[in-house]
Structure 1
Amino acid sequence: MSYPIIARDFRNHTLENTHQGVICIVNEDKETIYEKGDMEKSFFYRSAMKPLQAIPVFMSNVIEKYHLTAEETALFMASQRGEKYHEETLISLREKLDVDEKDLVCASSYPLNEKPKLEYVRANKSKRRLLHNCAGKHLGFLGYTKGKGLGIAGYEQLDHPLQQEIVHYLSEMSEVPVEEIVSGTDGCGVPVHAVPMKNMALSYLKFAVPELINDEKLRNAVVHIGEVMNAHPNIIASHDFVCSVLLKDSNIIAKGGAQGVYCLALRKEKISIALKVLSGTELIWPLLIAEILKKINYRNEETISNLLQLRSENIVNDDGKMVGETKIYL
C-alpha cells in the first residue's frame, strides 16, 4: 500500500525529505473521526506501550509494599534520559525494591542526554544497566515478579506470567483479541506488541475516558497511571521533550515510542490520537502534534506554543539561521 504524505522538508525551497504516515483520531463512542492511511495495518507501540506494560504493577501492591513515591513510580512508564534527577530516582527505586542491577536484561548504557553523558565520559564512569532508557520499566517488572513470588529469570520471555498478563490487559485496552496481537522483541529485550492504528488509539482513549473500562480494578489502575505521569512529566522523558511538554498539560496523557510512533489522549474532549511516522523520525513530532491540536481547535494554546518551541516549521542551520521549512499535510 502507498501511504499518504504527512510532512515534507524543504531546504532552500528544494524538497529534501518526504515523510509518509498513519494518523487516527477516535472519540468517546470509539468512532474514527479522522483518519489518514491504513487503519487496519498493525504497528508496534515501542515505548508508547509503557503505560500499558505498567498496568500489572499498578494492579498489585508493589507501590504500597515498598513505600514508593509518585516520582519513583513514574519511572515504570518512563523513557528516561539519564539526567541527575533520573539517576537519583532510579537508584532510590532499585534500593527500595531490593533487586540486583545485573538482573535487568536491558543493556548497559550511558545517559541519553548530551550533558549527563559527557559528564559520565569525562569522569571515566562505566555504562550501567540502570541508565538504560527503559530501566524504570524493567525495575517495575522485577518488583512485580518479586512481589508475586514469580521467578525473575526469564521475565523478558513472552511465555512468562508477567508478559502474558500484559498481553491480556493490552487486549482489554485495545479491543484486539489476544490471538490477533502481533508480538516482537523491543530494543530493551522484552516483548513489544503491534495492533492496528485505530486500536492503538482506543487503548489510549481509555486513559482519558476511564469509564469505558468495566473492570473497576483495571479502571483504577489506569487512572492512577495517568495521574502519576501528569504529576512527574520530566521523569517520563526529560525537560524539553515532547512527552514532558504534553504531560505538563493536565488534560493530556501522552507517550511516544521509537520509530515514529506517538499516542496521546485528551480528557475534556474525550478523544485519542495515535500516529506513526513511517520514516521513523521523531524530529517532526512537535510540529505534527501541534498541527493536529490546531486542527481539532484545542483550546490550550500554551501547550501548542510549547510544542512549537521544541520545533517550529523553520529549519535552521547550526548557527541558527533559517535555511528551510517543514510543511505538514493533514
Structure 2
Amino acid sequence: MTESSDRAVELVQTWRGEFPESSHRGHAVIVDETGQVVASWGDENAVMLPRSACKMLQALPLVESGAADAAGLGSEQLALACASHQGSAIHTERVEKWTSSLGLREADFRCGAHYPYDTDRATEMRIDGEEPCQFHNNCSGKHSGFLTLNRHLGGGAEYVEADHPVQQSVRAAHDEMTEDTSPGYGIDGCSAPNFATTMKGFATALAKMARPETLGPTRGRAASRLVEAMMAHPELVAGEGRACTQMMRAMPGRAAIKTGAEAVFSAILPEHGFGIAIKIEDGATRASECVIAALLVRLGVAHADDPVIQRYLAAEERNRRGILTGHIRPTEAFYAGGAAL
C-alpha cells in the first residue's frame, strides 16, 4: 500500500493526558449493495491484502460447491470456517471432530502449529508439557473447510498451493465478488495464498454478502449461510475477550465482523446492505478496532454507550497502578470526513 500512503488519513489518535502521543493513518470504505461508495476515508483504490478479514469469501466455494452439505456441515462448522479462533477447547474439539468424521487427520493440515491464543489453555499445555498441534492454529477452521472442499474436488494433498483446485476456486470467487482481477497474492501466516484487492473491491464483496439475494441462488444461499453462521456463533469466530466476538454479541444478528492481521477489519451489515473495509497502515489492531466501533455507531448498528463498544471506541489507557493515563479514540478528521452517515 506504499503507493497510497500519501492519501491515507489520520483516523485514530492515542492521547496521554491532554497530549496526543501516537497517531494511526489508514483507509476505510463503506460500499452499498449496488457497488456504490457510501463513504470513504483515505484512498478507496488502495491495494491491500485483506488477510483473515476475508475468510468468509474464502469459505464461499466450500458451501456453493456442495461440499459442505455433502459433509453434513452445520452452522458451527461454517462459523469455524470463517474464524481466527483462540485455540480454546470449544474450537479445537470441534475442528478435530469435524475432520475426523471425514477420515482426515491432523497431519493432513497445512496450516502449521502454534500455542493457543487462549492464554489459560496455553499455560496449561506448557505446564503439562503438551506441544501444540495444527488443531490449535487459529486458522484450523478455515483449513478444515479447505480440506473438506478438497475431498469433494478430489485434489492433491498440497491444497494451499496457489495453483491447486481449492485455491483456484477461492481466487475465482474472490475476483467475482470484488469485481476485479486480483493483482496477485501474499502467503498468509497459515501458508494459504491471500489474494490482494482494493479497499473498494473488498468492501464491494462484503456488501454483496450483506445482500445475498443479488448473487443468484447458489452463491446467494452460500453467502447467507456463512453470514448467519458468523452472527449465530460469535464465540467460534474468535473467542472470549476478542473484539469480533464481543462486538457481535453486543449487536446480535445485526453485523458479521471479522478482523485480520496487520490492522484489517471487515463488516457485513445485512440491514443496511453495506460492506465495510478498514486498513490501518502501521498495522496497529487497536486502531482498526477503534475505527470499526466508531463506524458501527455512526451507522446506528451499535450504541455508543454500550460498555463493549466503549471499550474500543474510547479505549482507556491505564498504568501499572490502574491510574487512567489516556485514551485511544477517533480523530476529528474521522468524524468530519467520509460522508454524512
Partner of 1:258 in structure 2?
Answer: 261
* Post-superposition CA distance 1:151-197 (Å, at most 9, x none): 12x211111111111111111111113xx432111111010011110
Partner of 2:320 in structure 1?
Answer: 318
Partner of 1:117 in structure 2?
Answer: 122
Partner of 2:244 in structure 1?
Answer: 243
**Which among 164, 168, 187 is matched to residue 185 of structure 1?**
187
8 A Cα contact 1:72 1:92, kept in partner = no
8 A Cα contact 2:68 2:148, kept in partner = no
Q: What is the Cα deviation at residue 15 of structure 1? A: 3.2
* Post-superposition CA distance 1:200-253 (Å, at most 9, x none): 10110011111221x321111111111111111110100222211333320112
Corresponding letter in the other structure for 2:324:
M
1:173 maps to 2:174: no
Partner of 1:45 in structure 2?
Answer: 50
Distance 1:303 1:160 in 2: 48
Partner of 1:82 in structure 2?
Answer: 87
TM-score w.r.t. structure 1 length?
0.93
**Which among 154, 161, 167 is matched to residue 163 of structure 1?**
167
Secondary structure of the corresponding residue to residue 196 of structure 2? strand
Distance 1:206 1:310 in 2: 27
Q: What is the Cα deviation at residue 302 of structure 1? A: 7.6
Secondary structure of the corresponding residue to residue 301 of structure 1? coil
Q: What is the Cα deviation at residue 299 of structure 1? A: 4.9
Q: What is the Cα deviation at residue 286 of structure 1? A: 3.5
Partner of 1:223 in structure 2?
Answer: 224
Partner of 1:194 in structure 2?
Answer: 196
Q: What is the Cα deviation at residue 319 of structure 1? A: 3.4
Identity score, percent: 27
**Which among 292, 295, 300 is matched to residue 292 of structure 1?**
295
Distance 1:299 1:81 in 2: 26
Gaps of 5+ in 2: 335-341
Gaps of 5+ in 1: none
8 A Cα contact 2:79 2:236, kept in partner = yes
Partner of 1:132 in structure 2?
Answer: 137
Partner of 1:151 in structure 2?
Answer: 156
Q: What is the Cα deviation at residue 138 of structure 1? A: 1.0
Corresponding letter in the other structure for 2:285:
E
Aligned residues: 325
More displaced 10-residue stretch of structure 1: 270-279 or 9-18 = 9-18
Q: What is the Cα deviation at residue 304 of structure 1? A: 5.1
More displaced 10-residue stretch of structure 1: 1-10 or 133-142 = 1-10
Q: What is the Cα deviation at residue 69 of structure 1? A: 3.4
Secondary structure of the corresponding residue to residue 39 of structure 2? strand
Secondary structure of the corresponding residue to residue 285 of structure 2? coil
* Post-superposition CA distance 1:292-330 (Å, at most 9, x none): 22323x054289542223563321123332111223121
More displaced 10-residue stretch of structure 1: 273-282 or 315-324 = 315-324
- Structure 1 residues 46-61: aligned runs within 5 Å: 46-61=51-66
Distance 1:34 1:300 in 2: 18
8 A Cα contact 1:76 1:140, kept in partner = yes
Q: What is the Cα deviation at residue 108 of structure 1? A: 1.3
8 A Cα contact 2:68 2:149, kept in partner = no
More displaced 10-residue stretch of structure 1: 299-308 or 188-197 = 299-308
Distance 2:305 2:60 in 1: 27
Distance 2:43 2:302 in 1: 30
Distance 2:305 2:139 in 1: 26
Distance 2:264 2:289 in 1: 13
More displaced 10-residue stretch of structure 1: 22-31 or 252-261 = 22-31
Corresponding letter in the other structure for 1:165:
S
More displaced 10-residue stretch of structure 1: 279-288 or 300-309 = 300-309
Partner of 1:72 in structure 2?
Answer: 77
Corresponding letter in the other structure for 1:39:
E
Distance 1:322 1:311 in 2: 16
Partner of 1:21 in structure 2?
Answer: 26
8 A Cα contact 1:252 1:264, kept in partner = yes
Query: What CA RMSD, in Å, does the superposition of the two structures yield over aligned residues?
Result: 1.8
Corresponding letter in the other structure for 1:79:
S
Secondary structure of the corresponding residue to residue 97 of structure 1? coil
